[in-house]
Chains A and B, each alone.
Chain A
Amino acid sequence: MHARILGFAAFAACLAVPATAAVALSDAAGSYTISPARSSIRFTIGKAGGGGFDGAFARFKGTIRIDNGDVGRSKVDLTIYPESVGTGQGRIDAFLRSDAVFDAANSPEIQFHSTSVIRTGDTSALVTGRLTARGKTFPEKFTAELDGLKAGTIKFHVTGKVLRSRYGMDVGTPLYSNVVDFNMTLTGKRG
């Protein structure tokens, strides 16, 4: 276990500013607050006949806690405000915010709380957790890849697929895929 943690730390060291001689494990461990300014939560939904449409949530908040002794005990909590959804097409945004999809007026928050973090490589982990949207909760899995670590800042690239029908958002299937592909960059600042 210690060897793996050291591997993680060694990778973190490689990503750090070259001038830094070494990054101690304690540099990665700790609590981080997700910085919306340097993070993004994007999604893509495939369309029948090819292509798809892309969107992003502009407002969200969250924390990442990396356990000092055991990565498996790390924790991610994320809250997304669906009111902030944007696709570049105002009419689609209004439709997504309406009770046809997010019902943002009555369900203003989408929440994710991790239940387990399993390391799958030196810099990657499988994050399982409970996703709640429109009052419905289901277990979901996301892949997190460490994308950068500097003193006080940690950056992950997170991907995952979510079936929207489970959350009462199946409108438009099969014209639009039931699978929502998430692509997030989450940058956390210590503290």
Chain B
Amino acid sequence: MVTTLPLVGRVKGVLEETHPAIRSCPMQFSITNSATRYGWAMIILHWLIGIMFIGQFVLGFMMVRIQSQRTAFELIQLHKSLGFLLLGLVILRIGWRLGNAAPHLPPSVGALERRTAPLAHLALYAFQTALPLSGWALVSVSTLEIPTMPFNLFVMPDLPLAESDAAESFWAATHWYLAYAGIALVALHAAAALRHHFLLRDSVLARMITPSSGRE
């Protein structure tokens, strides 16, 4: 086994010379961020959380307006399950972000945006954490006492908060306001990304799509 390894290396080296495309094979994408590019872990977490966040907004909007009480109940349980999955992904993302600095902004980014973009990103992190937490608080204080079972897999304990109608109204309103403010921030974030791509024609959006090859 050991003796065959140098042979594999030699074959790969020869192939890379004759077939340059092999160099950019996805296997070589970096999991971590580099100074100028995002690694694939951050890219996957970004899009997964982004799509789930928007999906949760749409689901939350629909589930409280639907006629069928049965469908409403089931959609609310799905919203809770997805919310806990989202919270798990957000915690993973924050951990990953703390151990893996974001790439530098390209030189095309102006001074004002250089100061405000990190604040906007911090706010996005705050909303994606606060939204599932406020939802968890809401189900914890609800006088309906409906158990929470993410994807019917296990019982998620309630947060240690006192249950009352007043607390339920408070957390429902908080969750609602956070959702609308959060989705407005997501829209601003998306508009900024499109501006970078189509007006400024820089790499800001592109680097959140194609991962770092680890060579930049």
Q: State whether A99 and B68 are in contact (beta carbons under 8 Å apart), knowing that A53-B145, A89-B143, A175-B146 are contacts in the complex.
A: yes
Which of A12-20, A63-71, A90-98 touches B?
Answer: A90-98
Known: A174-B152, A175-B77. A48 touches B70 (CB 8 A): no
Contacts of A51 in B (CB 8 A): 145
Interface of B, secondary structure class, is loop
B149 touching A48 by the CB < 8 A rule? yes
| 0 or 1 for each of B39-75: is its CB under 8 Å from A? (1 = yes) | 0000000000000000000000000000011100110
**Shortest beta-carbon distance, A175 to chain B, in Å?**
5
Known contacts: A89-B144, A100-B68. The answer to whether A49 contacts B155 by CB under 8 A is: yes
Is there an interface contact between A95 and B152, defined as CB atoms closer than 8 Å?
no
Q: Is B147 an interface residue (CB 8 A)?
A: yes
Contact across chains for B73 and A174 when beta carbons are under 8 A apart:
no
Chain A stretch 23-73: residues in CB contact (< 8 A) with chain B: 47-49, 51, 53
* A132 to B147 CA separation, bound complex (whole angstroms): 29
From residue 100 to 159 of chain B, which have CB atoms closer than 8 A to chain A? 143-147, 149, 152, 155, 157
CB proximity of A71 to chain B, nearest CB, Å: 42
Considering the complex, give the chain A residue whose CB is closest to the CB of B157.
Answer: A49
Residues of the A chain whose Cβ atoms lie less than 8 Å from the Cβ of B146: 175
The chain B residue with its CB closest to the CB of A170 is: B70
Evaluate contact between A48 and B147: CB separation under 8 angstroms.
yes
- Interface flags for B152-181 (1: CB within 8 Å of A; 0: not) read 100101000000000000000000000000
Given contacts A49-B155, A89-B144, contact A171 B70 (CB under 8 A): yes
Q: Decide yes or no whether A191 CB sits under 8 A from chain B.
A: no
Bound CA–CA A80/B195 (angstroms): 65
A176 to B74, CA, bound (A): 13
Judging by beta carbons under 8 Å apart, are A91 and B147 in contact? no
A98 close to B147 (CB less than 8 A): no
Name A174's contact: one of B70, B149, B157 (CB within 8 Å): B149
> Which one of A49, A53, A89, A100 lies within 8 Å of B73 (CB-CB)?
A100
A141 to chain B, nearest CB (A): 28
A174 to B152: give the CA distance in the assembly, Å.
Answer: 7
Tell me if A152 counts as interface (CB < 8 A to partner B): no
A98 touches B69 (CB 8 A): yes
A172 contacts chain B at the CB level, 8 A cutoff:
yes
Q: In the bound complex, do residue B147 and residue A175 qualify as a contact, i.e. CB atoms below 8 Å apart? A: yes
- Decide: A92 and B73 in contact? CB cutoff 8 A: no
* Bound form: Cα–Cα A100–B77 in Å: 14
Most chain A CB inside 10 Å of its own CB: which residue of B77, B143, B147, B155? B147
The answer to whether B144 touches A99, judged by C-beta atoms less than 8 angstroms apart, is no
Say how far B68's CB is from chain A's closest CB, in angstroms. 7
User: Within 8 Å CB of A94, what residues of B?
Assistant: 69
Q: Mark B58-96, 1 if CB is under 8 A from A, else 0.
A: 000000000011100110010000000000000000000
Q: How far is the CA of A89 from the CA of B146 in the complex (A)?
A: 12
A51 to B143, CA, bound (A): 14
Binding site for B on A (CB under 8 A): 47-49, 51, 53, 89, 91-92, 94-95, 98-101, 171-172, 174-176
**Contact residues of B with A, CB < 8 Å?**
68-70, 73-74, 77, 143-147, 149, 152, 155, 157
Q: List 14 A-B contacts (CB under 8 A).
A: A47-B145, A48-B147, A48-B155, A51-B145, A53-B145, A89-B144, A91-B144, A95-B73, A98-B69, A100-B70, A100-B73, A171-B73, A174-B152, A175-B147
Given contact pairs A51-B145, A98-B70, a sample of 18 additional A-B residue pairs in the complex whose CB atoms are under 8 Å apart: A47-B145, A48-B147, A48-B149, A49-B155, A49-B157, A89-B144, A99-B68, A99-B70, A100-B70, A101-B70, A171-B73, A174-B149, A174-B152, A175-B77, A175-B147, A175-B149, A175-B152, A176-B147
